[in-house]
Amino acid sequence: MDDTFDEMYGSDRGPQITIKEADNTHAQIALSNCDLSFANAFRRIMLAEIPTIAIDLVFIEANTSVIPDEFLSHRLGLIPLDSANIDDKLVYTRDCVCDQYCERCSVTLTLNARCTSDVPMTVYARDLAVQAGAQCGQPVITDPEGLGTIIAKLRKGQEIKLTCVAKKGIAKEHAKWSPVSAVAFEYDPHNKLRHTSYWYEEDAKAEWPPSKFADWEDPPQEGEVFDYDAVPNTFYMDVESVGSMAPDEIMQQGIKYLQQKLMDVMKGLNGEDQMEDDGGLRSPGADGGDYQMGGMGGGQGYETPFGGQDGRTPYGGGYGATTPYGTNGWA
């Protein structure tokens, strides 16, 4: 692709992206020369299918605040946690080899707060202590005071003591995993295509404020003839990040996961050959070889979920290579 050619002469050869405005919380882009369906797919994927980290499990040791446990857990879940480059740092718990959760698939945060003064105390997201050595999952703090989201307020003598487990997930499952608070989406700011009709008292033009994208497109000429064949061509998006990821990463991840989706369906389409597919579908935990060696003395180096403390595996006897039918040295 010859990008300089496109920049110099403009192009009708495929989609164009222009960034109008961007900082670390939001980005305004114009996506042109593409179809509504694609622009919408991009929007939907950014909203619902980019993985981030959010608190998913809460173990409450003490909660004497006025906020009930489930209310508190919900609030904790919604706190944005740093999810930059999460793909390199964390795996989904369901894909992990561990039994419940581990450092490979989760980040543990603890909260320990007690009010001892007569002044009511506010517990903020900054009071969440992330497990040592965590590469991600720090609460997102963007306010100048460095406090973060308010979790709860405590009166004298009240206490909150809990442990949270943050996991990787997508917003399709729960909105707390969404990297964006909103993705504004608009086309045809002057309503030249007449896809919408404005309600008005006397004059729609005078009563409706122009869209913030209005000056990015030419206003309609006086007495312009309506083009019945026109289709939307340029789409304006404003990606508002919740802070867990930079808008730039969100957009890039959006394209990546759209492609991932396509690859998955392609694989499903080619996956008619079951034998071929089985190898890929088996999770590392189900890897046959090692477990079968339990009876042959291969079990010493590790503990398996199947090979309980007595050293028996479902495949045979204990480590001593005896079978349930023979004498067992451990019994």
Positions touching other proteins (CB under 8 A) are 1, 3, 14-19, 22, 29, 31, 34-35, 37-38, 40-42, 44-45, 48-49, 248, 251-252, 255-256, 258-259, 261-269, 271-272, 274, 277-278, 281
CB 107 within 8 A of CB 81: yes
Closest contact distance (angstroms) between CB of 311 and other proteins is 29
Question: From CA 74, how far away is CA 57, in angstroms rounded?
Answer: 10
Judged by beta carbon, residue 45 or residue 53, the one nearer other proteins is 45
CB 188 within 8 A of CB 219: no
Q: What is the largest CA-CA distance in the chain?
A: 99
DSSP structure string for 204-222: HHHHSPPPTTGGGSPPPPT
Q: With residue 37 as reference, give the H or E element that holds it.
A: helix 36-48
Look at the block and give the residue holding tokens 């997508």.
170
Closest contact distance (angstroms) between CB of 40 and other proteins is 6
Closest contact distance (angstroms) between CB of 170 and other proteins is 12
Judged by beta carbon, residue 223 or residue 284, the one nearer other proteins is 284
Judged by beta carbon, residue 14 or residue 289, the one nearer other proteins is 14
Judged by beta carbon, residue 61 or residue 87, the one nearer other proteins is 87
Closest contact distance (angstroms) between CB of 45 and other proteins is 6
Closest contact distance (angstroms) between CB of 265 and other proteins is 6
DSSP structure string for 104-127: TTEEEEEEEEE--SSS-EEEEGGG
Judged by beta carbon, residue 69 or residue 278, the one nearer other proteins is 278
Judged by beta carbon, residue 28 or residue 65, the one nearer other proteins is 28
CB 296 within 8 A of CB 318: no
Judged by beta carbon, residue 78 or residue 170, the one nearer other proteins is 170
Closest contact distance (angstroms) between CB of 251 and other proteins is 6
Closest contact distance (angstroms) between CB of 218 and other proteins is 21
CB 136 within 8 A of CB 122: no
Judged by beta carbon, residue 41 or residue 57, the one nearer other proteins is 41
CB 217 within 8 A of CB 30: no
Question: From CA 131, how far away is CA 75, in angstroms rounded?
Answer: 20
Helices within 57-203 (DSSP H only): 69-77, 86-89
Question: From CA 51, how far away is CA 253, in angstroms rounded?
Answer: 9
Judged by beta carbon, residue 124 or residue 213, the one nearer other proteins is 213
Question: From CA 186, how far away is CA 235, in angstroms rounded?
Answer: 6
Closest contact distance (angstroms) between CB of 144 and other proteins is 22
DSSP structure string for 175-200: GGG-SEEEEEEEE-TT-TT--S----
Helices within 193-318 (DSSP H only): 204-207, 247-270, 274-281, 288-292
Closest contact distance (angstroms) between CB of 44 and other proteins is 4
Look at the block and give the residue holding tokens 């991600």.
136
Question: Which two tokens mark 286?
Answer: 């189900």
